[in-house]
Structure 1
Amino acid sequence: MTAELKTDPKYDDYEYPTTSPNVQSGHPGHTTPEQDAQVFQLRTQLEQAGYTKRLDTLCMLRFLRARKFNVDHAKQMFVDCEKWRNEFGVDELVRTFDYREKPKVFEYYPQYYHKTDKEGRPVYIEQLGKIDLAAMYKITSAERMLQNLVVEYEKLADPRLPACSRKSGQLLETCCTIMDLKGVGISKVSSVYGYVKQASAISQNYYPERLGKLYLINAPWGFSSVFSVVKGFLDPVTVQKIHVLGSGYQTELLGQVPKENLPSLFGGTCACKGGCALSDEGPWQDPKWTKAPKWARTEGGESKASQPTSTASAAQPQTA
C-alpha cells in the first residue's frame, strides 16, 4: 500500500517527490505503522544524545533499512557516521574541495556520473582496468582521492538525486553503477587493494542504501565462479542488485540504460563534447530540474552561486 511519507516539520523540508517507486516495505511511501514508530524512536534517541543534523525522515529510513529496522543498530551506525564526518571535515570539504587534477587522474582511473538509466537514476561508471596507482600518485594523493570520493557522495545526495527525482516525478535515492573490468588482471589487485578497501568502507558505513543496480561488465574468465562464492557472504537484497556480465553485456545493459545516455565506448550513442567522462551530463546540470544544494546556500537561503553546481568527478559504487 502506498501512502504519503510521514514527515516531521522540524527536520523535513523536501523540494522534490518523497514517494519511492520501490514498492517494498520500509521504503518512503511504503512504511508500516511500526516502521514509522521506529523512525520516531530513532530520531528521539538521537536528539536526546545531542544530534541536530541529518535527522530527516528519509535519512532515518535509510539507516534503519541498512540495519534491518533494528533501532539500536541503526543508532550506532548513525553515531559512528557522525563521528567520522566530524573527523573527516565533510561539511567544510564539500564546500571548498577543488579536484583540479581530475582530468589527469582520469587518464588512469576514469570514474564519473553520466546521465540517467531508464528509471531516471544517475548512472555511475568506473573503468577499473586502467588503474595505475603508481602513476596517479605522481599527480594526486590517496588522501585527495578519498576526499574527492566523499565530496562526490555528498553531491550525489544533493543536487544529483533531487534533480533526478524532480524530473522523474518520484523519489530516487540510488544509482545505477557500471564497473568495467576490461583489463583488470591479478597483477593489479594487490596495488589497489588498500585504496579500494578504504573507499568501500566509506561506502558501506557512511552512505548506506545508495546502490540501485550494479553491472560488472567485461568480467574476466573465472570471475563468475569467484563471485558465486562471494555471494554467500552478501546480503540477499544486495545480491539481487548485482549483475555479472562478460564481453557480451550490451543487450542487458541497454535494457537498463537508454542508448542515447550510454557512452559510445560501451555500445551507446552518446559522445559528449570533450568526452563523456568529464562532461557530468545529467538533470543536475539542467536549470529546469536542479536547485542549488542546501550545503551551498547562505544563512538566508540564497545560493552562493547563480549557476548549477558542477558535480563532475567520482564516487565509489555503493555496496549496500
Structure 2
Amino acid sequence: MSSPNLSDAVPAFKESLGSHYDPSQHSDILLGRFLKARNFDVPLATAMFIKWREWYVQERVDDILQTFTFPELPALREIYPRFQHKTDKQGRMVVYNQFGKLDVSKIFQITTPERMLTYEIRESEKLEKYRFPALSKKAGRNVDKVVLVLDVAGFPFMQFYRIQAVLGKIAENNSNYHPETLGQVLIINAPFIFKAIWKLIINIIPAETAAKCNILGSDYQETLLNLIDAENVPKFFGGTCECPGGCERADVGPWNDGTVKGYPDEFWEGFRKRDLDAAAAAAAAAAGISASDEK
C-alpha cells in the first residue's frame, strides 16, 4: 500500500476546515504537520486543528506574546539550565536541558506550574513564528523540527514526581498544538536507574515522542558529534564552542547571529530584555519593601 500523498491530502484538509482555515496564517507546511500527526486521516486532523484554534483563543496566546513577562527566568535558569544553542547538521535548532542541575525542591519556590506553562506557550510560539522561519531561510528549505539533548547526570530521580505533572502537561501541549516539531531526543549520561524512571516517563509523554528518544550513557559524545558539528556543541558537552559569557546563556543561532537577512528581530529578541527588566523591577520593589520594614 502506497503512503499518503501530502499534496493530495492538503486540498481536502482545507475544504474540511472551512472557515477555520486562514490562508494568510496557515501554510501548507503547517497543515501538513497536522495531517502527519493524524496519519493523513482528514476528519481526525480537522478535529485536532479546530481544537488547537479553540485552545489558542481560550489561552489568549496573542496576549501572552504581547504582554507576558517571566521575571523568574534568571533565577529559574540557575536551578534548571535549559537553553537553545545553534543547529545540528540538518539545520534543526538544538535545545539543551541540564536536568542534572535541576533543584526540584526550589523550582516551585521560584515560580508556579501555571506560570511555567504560560512561559512555555510563549516560547513555543516564538519557535513557530520566529526561529523556524530563520532556520528555514538559513537552510534554503523548510526546517520545522528541533533536537533535544537531555543531560540527566546527577538528576535526583526519586524527586521526579514533584515535576512530573507540569512536564507532562508541557509535552502534551507541544504534541497537541505544535505537532511534528520534535525531530530527535538524546538522553545523555543516563545511569542504570534511569531505565526504571523511563517506565514512568513514557506514561506521561506521547508515544510518538518516546519513539524519538535515544538513551545514552556517559559515552554519548560520538553519537552527539555525529548529529551536530563540534563547533556547534558547547565545550562542556564535548564540542569546541565557547560562547562569550557561556553557551548556556548565549541563545545563539540563525535567528540572531546575523547570518540571515531580516534577523534578529527587535520584537522577538526583546522577550529576554523584557523578562530581565521585569526581574529588576521586582527586585527593586522587594528591596524597597525590605527597607521600609527595617524602619
TM-score, normalising length: structure 2? 0.81
Q: Secondary structure at the match of 1:309?
A: helix
1:242 corresponds to: 213
The one-character-per-residue Cα deviations of 1:82-133 (angstroms, maximum 9, x if unpaired) are: 1111111112212322223212101111111111111111001111122234
Larger Rg: 2
Alignment of 1:159 onto 2:130: yes
Aligned partners of 1:93 and 1:230: how far apart in 2? 29
Aligned partners of 2:257 and 2:37: how far apart in 1? 32
2:242 corresponds to: 271
- Give the C-alpha shift of residue 62 in structure 1: 0.3
Q: Secondary structure at the match of 2:218?
A: coil
- Which has the larger displacement, 265-274 or 61-70? 265-274
- Give the C-alpha shift of residue 157 in structure 1: 1.3
2:269 corresponds to: 309
Q: Secondary structure at the match of 2:110?
A: coil
Q: Secondary structure at the match of 1:137?
A: helix
Unaligned residue ranges in structure 2 (runs of 5+): 274-295
Q: Which has the higher helix share?
A: 2
8 Å contact kept, 1:284–1:290: no
Alignment of 1:197 onto 2:168: yes
Amino acid at match of 2:162: S
RMSD between superposed Cα atoms in Å: 2.9
Sort the Cα spacing of 1:130 and 1:176 in 2 relative to 1 into closer, same or farther, 3 A: same
The one-character-per-residue Cα deviations of 1:176-217 (angstroms, maximum 9, x if unpaired) are: 110111112332111111111211111111110011111010
1:49-198 equivalences under 5 Å are 50-52=20-22, 54-198=25-169
1:47 corresponds to: 18
Unaligned residue ranges in structure 1 (runs of 5+): 1-23, 27-31, 294-302, 314-320
Aligned partners of 2:158 and 2:76: how far apart in 1? 20
8 Å contact kept, 1:280–1:311: no
Q: Secondary structure at the match of 1:271?
A: coil
Equivalent in 217, 224, 234 of residue 253 of structure 1: 224
The one-character-per-residue Cα deviations of 1:269-318 (angstroms, maximum 9, x if unpaired) are: 2222222222111010034415369xxxxxxxxx7x4x7725669xxxxx
Percent of aligned pairs with the same amino acid: 34
1:217 corresponds to: 188
TM-score, normalising length: structure 1? 0.75
